[in-house]
A and B are shown apart, each in its own frame.
Chain A
């Protein structure tokens, strides 16, 4: 498959557009899920949608994407609110409630699916694509639905932007300001469920949660602003969708879901390592730099203690007397010489005037901090 196919082939264009939109809406709403510490809720919801898909098919008897979406939506919402009910009304903690609903609903869904498969002359072929997703089945109508839902959720997000932002970061304050937190909670949860249900056809029940989390978790590493994070997450999501679809379309026998998830996971790994402010790489570099600087300062103050006992601060001393001091290495000495704080001649070192002033100021500073 050539890259140019993407722009000429009608089917491929539809599919690519669909997964891009899906990635964008997932990133957008996933940001809220991640920041509200509801990351695993997505996992539970997507699994909980399965019985809805099966029941919708059992009732209507046709494999119409719209009915199935509605079924999935209803069953996802039932699962979500049951989770909230379990946490609120019993002593079970949220992780137990999530795992419980996730597995019980999914098991029931699988029971129904296998039941449907065995039904005589059932037109069931293709229901199991909802397990791992098959982007190839997207048609223009599906893309339109996705686009419309994305538009609506964008509108709602903009409309309730400051309320939702407040809800994310300070629930109690939101309450005291008189906002209806229950309504806001239901609003954002419903949209998250909606995004998950939209993605079932493309990414599948099992892996949909990663689609929600990964772009948001990646975006979180690059910024501390909610607005930027939502936009970035949408971009990451869209790219994961497009790349994932492209890769899975170029090979036989590859469900789209796992590929998209792996692309999104790559974004996460890159963000974890290379983000300038939070990333592991730069954190390690900063850490080492700080350690080197502290070594340098420690050595310099140690020298200062020796030098200040002499009338002439630049009186040479042998390097050996530094040996019982821990922070000292050859490298620190050369570094200090480069900065012209000391001069090295053979086995001797001597503090320069500049070094003495610097060391004195460091020493005084430490003294002040200790006070």
Chain B
């Protein structure tokens, strides 16, 4: 690995972590789309700042652009407050307009500005190591490394200082307000940090893909854990994985680094979406199927309990009576037999003592409407689940 390669990966990883921190709170606060709005709307701020400073990494430009981001949020909230349109429409109206202004500003001055549309959409991570910071002649590394490093440091410090407040106001706004934490200050604080981070990351990954770095790691982590700290750590981890794997993928395909970082994030999300142990689609599918079998089993046992006459308990009759298909009837019968809830003699099915006890208790829970207790009951009686 050359020096430049290491630096690019380092910048990419720092950007990813810096985005993942505010991203986690945005996702939890159901404000993910505001990051999309900010990332587009800061463009005119960046362009104007660039006209003034002629340097994409200047602190003034970052502040100016971040201010545009906060103004966007205020504007969206103002439009929403007039009640003329809903919040999502307000977001959808504000950012394309501001973004358009930015694009027009760039294309009208395309000749004398070192800022083109591709850079806006994709960033220029590959060129980041060439723009270096010199302090009295000494090479201090790439400028963007310092920029994003500073931003990350500030957000980490803020996160540690206000972790408790942020956590509380995210999960229980009412309680946070009654305890005296101003929701307005926290809200705009988070918006400011997000704006500054987006501006800092903009240079590296571009307008649209910064949204991916904000939302995707947090969303993926949210499917894996219920713990805020763990979620923060996981989303940072996903961000770093995406940064490094994305860099190498881009290297192999000779394509955009930001694009392949996003693609890696997409694959991570897809994997977790399908296979997450609690939230995943496959898990949901199996759980649904198991619950269906268990409900059938309960109906079946209740039926057995209600009928003492033999013809009601004949195997074939059951199939007709409860109106199950053959396969399902077989699954239910096998499950019941495996757990010693029934025994069969001469094609006649009857409840065992254990089955009787189970049915009685289940009935009691059902009639008293304590649905949660059923789960315990199943744990106690079932050795083999459906």
Decide yes or no: A103 and B211 within 8 Å by CB, A217-B85, A261-B96, A262-B101 being known contacts. Answer: yes
A255 to B105: give the CA distance in the assembly, Å: 11
What is the bound-complex CA distance between A237 and B85, given in angstroms? 18
Task: Say how far B283's CB is from chain A's closest CB, in angstroms.
Answer: 10
A99 to B215, CA, bound (A): 7
Cβ–Cβ contact A40 & B108, under 8 A:
no
A207 CB-CB contact with B under 8 Å: yes
Contact of A111 among B107, B263, B269 (CB under 8 A): B263
Q: Which of A164-200 contact B (CB under 8 A)?
A: none
- Stretch of B216-224, B289-297, B320-328 contacting A (4+ beta carbons < 8 Å): B216-224
| Cβ-defined contact, A278 with B92, below 8 A | no
Chain B residues with Cβ under 8 A from A71's Cβ? Answer: none
Residues of A within 8 A of B261 (CB): 107
Smallest CB separation, B243 vs chain A (Å): 13
Closest Cβ of chain A to B83, distance in Å, is 8
Stretch from B27-35, B50-58, B177-185, B347-355 at the A interface: B27-35
Point out the residue from B32, B79, B99, B273 that lies within 8 Å of A98, measured CB to CB.
B32
Min CB distance B239 to A, Å, is: 13
Binds B, one of A60-68, A84-92, A150-158, A336-344: A84-92
B100 within 8 Å of A by Cβ?
Answer: yes
Q: Is there contact, CB below 8 Å, between A111 and B259?
A: yes
Interface residue? A145 (CB, 8 A): no
Smallest CB–CB gap between A280 and chain B, Å?
6
List A50-95 residues whose CB lies under 8 Å from chain B. 85-86, 89-93, 95
By beta carbon, the residue of chain B nearest A41 is B88
Cβ-based interface call for B203 (8 A) = no
B284 within 8 A of partner (CB): yes
Question: Which B residues are within 8 Å of any A CB, using their own CB?
Answer: 27, 30-33, 35-36, 40, 79, 82, 84-86, 88-89, 91-93, 96-97, 99-101, 103-104, 107-108, 110, 117-118, 121-122, 208-209, 211-212, 214-216, 218-219, 222-223, 250, 253-256, 258-263, 265-266, 269, 273, 279, 281, 284
In the assembly, what is the distance between CA of A149 and CA of B96, in Å? 25
Pick from A89, A93, A114: contact of B281, CB under 8 Å: A89
Given A40-B91, A111-B263, A254-B107, A99 and B223 touching (CB < 8 A)? Answer: no
A115: which of B89, B209, B254 is its contact (CB, 8 Å)? B254
CB of A148 closer than 8 Å to a CB of B? no
Chain A residues in 8 Å Cβ range of B258: 107, 110
Tell yes or no: A309 within 8 A of B by CB. Answer: no
| A132 CA to B107 CA, complexed, in Å | 11
B259 in contact with A108 (CB, 8 Å) = yes
- Chain A: interface residue count, which band? 35 or more
Contact residue among A42, A91, A108, A210 (Cβ-Cβ distance under 8 Å from B266): A108
Q: How far is the CB of A198 from chain B (nearest CB, A)?
A: 18
What residues of chain A lie closer than 8 Å to B97, measured between beta carbons? 210, 261-262, 265
One of A102, A114, A207 near B122 (C-beta < 8 A) = A114
Contact of B215 among A103, A254, A280 (CB under 8 A): A103
Restricting to A89-131, which residues have a CB under 8 Å from any CB of B? 89-93, 95-96, 98-100, 102-115, 118, 128, 131
- Tell me whether A103 and B284 are in contact in the complex, defined as CB-CB below 8 angstroms, given that A108-B263, A111-B262, A258-B103 are known contacts: no
In the bound complex, residues from chain B placing their C-beta under 8 Å from that of A43 are 36, 92
A286 to chain B, nearest CB (A): 14
Known: A95-B30, A261-B100. A206 touches B259 (CB 8 A): no
Contact residues in B for A259 (Cβ distance below 8 Å): 100, 104
Docked pose: A92 CA to B273 CA in angstroms = 10
The 3 tightest CB contacts between A and B, nearest first, are A107-B262, A111-B259, A210-B96
Residue of A nearest to B279 (CB): A90
A268 at the interface (CB under 8 A from B): yes
